[in-house]
Amino acid sequence: MKIKLSMDELFGELEASPAFHILPLTSDIAKEVYYLGATLRDPAGRVIVATARFHGLRLLTSDQRIIQSKTVSTVE
């Protein structure tokens, strides 16, 4: 399925949806990324995991490295 919206339109739609919320990267989340260390190799994965941990959220992922790390509660 190809998305036929511009990036501005896509993010506008997402931001208008009550089911979608972009969480900001804060200094507290950056600290959590640091505390995760090299547990996960992918820097983006570390930021996602740190954000979920900081906010007490379960992470919906198929990334086996994140699941196997057991650093965050996941929904597979």
Distance, in Å, from the CA atom of 32 to the CA atom of 47, rounded to the nearest integer, reads: 8
The span from the CA of 71 to the CA of 17, in Å, is 29
Q: What is the mean pLDDT of each run of 10 residues along the chain (76 residues)?
A: 81 89 94 94 95 96 94 91
pLDDT of residue 76: 75
**For position 11, what pLDDT does the model report?**
87
pLDDT of 2 reads 67
pTM of the model: 0.79
* pLDDT given at position 1: 59
